[in-house]
Amino acid sequence: MVEDILLESLRQAGYLLSTILIPFATLIVGRKVLKEKKSTGRYNIVRLLTFGIFLCFALMSFLEFLVELSLSPLLNELFGFNIESINLYSILIGTMVSLGLCLVFYANRWEPLYFVSFFIFGGMVIFYYLTGFDAWLETYIQIAGIISLIFIYFTSFRVRDNGALGLGIFFTLAFSTLVIEISYVSQIMIISYNVFILILSLGYFRIFKEEVIS
Amino acid sequence: MPDLQYSIFEGLIILFGVLSLIPVFRNWKESKNRMYIAIFVYNIGVIGYSFINVLTYILEIDTNVYLVGGLRFGYILGYILFTIQFEFMLYLRGLTKLYTLPFILSFYLMIGNILNTSVMPFIIYAVIVSYTPAYFLLRDGKKKRNGLAFGMGLFFLTWGIGQIIPVEIVMEIFRVIAIFMFFLGTRGFYEKYIFVNQEEEQKIMGTWISKFVVKE
């Protein structure tokens, strides 16, 4: 009984933190993007992509919170909560992993591959609405997620970029919550990635003192 | 008998294709311009397509046979050629970031053909990848008086018109005309007879007429 209450409290705390902290972190990153645009006159694509990933995550956390509150059966149906078929949840996760891949390709200057993830994922969504076929969605999300994570770590060490490394750690924590089946560990992970995203967005995460590229 | 007739058409396409390769290769050797390599590769794609067609006639393979779902053997060949065509168009416009698009688009359309027997996506794709480069090539070719570009534009235009006519014999004739127009482009025909320098022509004509006047 006590265990259940503790677990439920952790779960609620996790949802609440995600709903507040992730949009907050998104706002901070968004502000940085606009500030840089003002000072340099052009958008920093890496920051813009990071902002896109954060925005998707924030939107997902907010919708997840609304679904938990069971406000509308239609929203629950649209949200879906799985990556096996096309729904709001899988579209947001798919966009996140696609942006992650795009970030990797951009950081490595692999120009012909810049938009490949969007072509694949966008094609998959359009294809679903035309034919109803979405059997490859889960595989795409898993493969693209793993590839983008590996390459984000690889790129972050290669270019000694704190932002990329932070993003890698954040996503490792976030994705591990989907894999770990022990509820307590999973809930603690959720709380920890929320705290981490706040540290990252405020700019306190500085493993590399000297970066090769900013 | 119709197979022999189609084989002759394909043979003509191969012949003009090979004859076009020689000046393109020579131009590339002189200028080292990578555009000639792209034209060369595309031309090989066209020849390869015709060569496969000849093989299907010889081996009596029915290209209209459904392989999986609504996907025909002929569609696969068409998609391969469209991919090369689309890639060529992106190369012409210098759109490096979109290089993966033709492969992914063709792949989805092929999968779409497996699930759906409709021929419309194939035709729409053919029209887009044929007429768009035709427009750019004809426009740039005319503006810069470049016979090769103009010839390629005419090739894409004629080939594209042929693709949307669902009568095989008409399609074949259009393809032969298309490759012949391209062949003329590689041989400098358009520079010589279509893009005539008006001023120069007037000067020559003037001299010629004045000579007659003096004689009389």
Question: Taking CB atoms and an 8 Å cutoff, what residues of chain A touch B109?
Answer: none
The pLDDT averaged over each successive group of 10 residues in chain A (214 residues) is: 78 82 88 89 88 91 84 84 87 93 88 93 93 90 90 84 84 80 80 86 79 51
Q: For residues A131 and A121, what is the distance between their CA atoms, to the nearest angstrom? A: 15
Task: Report the candidate in A86, A84, A85, A30 with the shortest Cα–Cα distance to residue A57.
Answer: A30
Q: Please state the rounded mean pLDDT for residues B138-157.
A: 88
Partners of residue B72 on adjacent β-strands: B66
Asked if A133's CB is within 8 angstroms of B111's CB, the reply is yes
Amino acid, single-letter form, for residue A54: F
CATH fold label, A2-202:
Rhopdopsin 7-helix transmembrane proteins (1.20.1070)
Q: For residues B31 and B23, what is the distance between their CA atoms, to the nearest angstrom? A: 12
Tokens matching residue B193 = 């007879």
Q: For residues A186 and A14, what is the distance between their CA atoms, to the nearest angstrom? A: 10
B121 interface with A at CB cutoff 8 Å: no
CATH number of the domain where residue B159 is located = 1.20.1070
Give the ipTM.
Answer: 0.81
**Are A176 and A196 in contact, with CB atoms under 8 Å apart?**
no
B96 interface with A at CB cutoff 8 Å: yes
**Are A134 and A87 in contact, with CB atoms under 8 Å apart?**
no
What does the pLDDT look like over B90-114, one tens digit per residue?
Answer: 887 888 899 999 999 999 999 998 8
B91-109 b/e (C-beta count within 10 Å ≥ 16 → b): bbeeeeebbbbbebbbebb
Nearest CA in chain A to B116: A131
Best of A102, A113, A117, A133 to disrupt the B interface (most B CBs within 10 Å) is A133
What pLDDT is attached to residue A78? 86
Nearest CA in chain B to A132: B115
B11 interface with A at CB cutoff 8 Å: no
User: CA A182 from chain center: how many Å?
Assistant: 22
B115 interface with A at CB cutoff 8 Å: yes
B116 interface with A at CB cutoff 8 Å: yes
Q: Please state the rounded mean pLDDT for residues B119-124.
A: 86
Indicate if the pLDDT at residue B167 is higher than 70: yes
What is the radius of gyration, based on Cα positions, of chain B? 20
Q: Could you tell me the residue range of the domain that residue B107 belongs to? A: 2-215
Question: Taking CB atoms and an 8 Å cutoff, what residues of chain A touch B100?
Answer: 112-113, 115-116, 119
Asked if A133's CB is within 8 angstroms of B100's CB, the reply is no
Tokens matching residue A28 = 């901070």
Nearest CA in chain A to B99: A112
Nearest CA in chain A to B91: A112
**Are A105 and A118 in contact, with CB atoms under 8 Å apart?**
no
Indicate the number of domains in chain B.
1
pLDDT averaged over every residue in chain B: 83
A133 interface with B at CB cutoff 8 Å: yes
What are the structural domain ranges in chain A? Answer: 2-202
Which residues numbered 28-87 in B keep a CB inside 8 Å of some CB on A?
none
B128 interface with A at CB cutoff 8 Å: no
Asked if B105's CB is within 8 angstroms of A112's CB, the reply is no
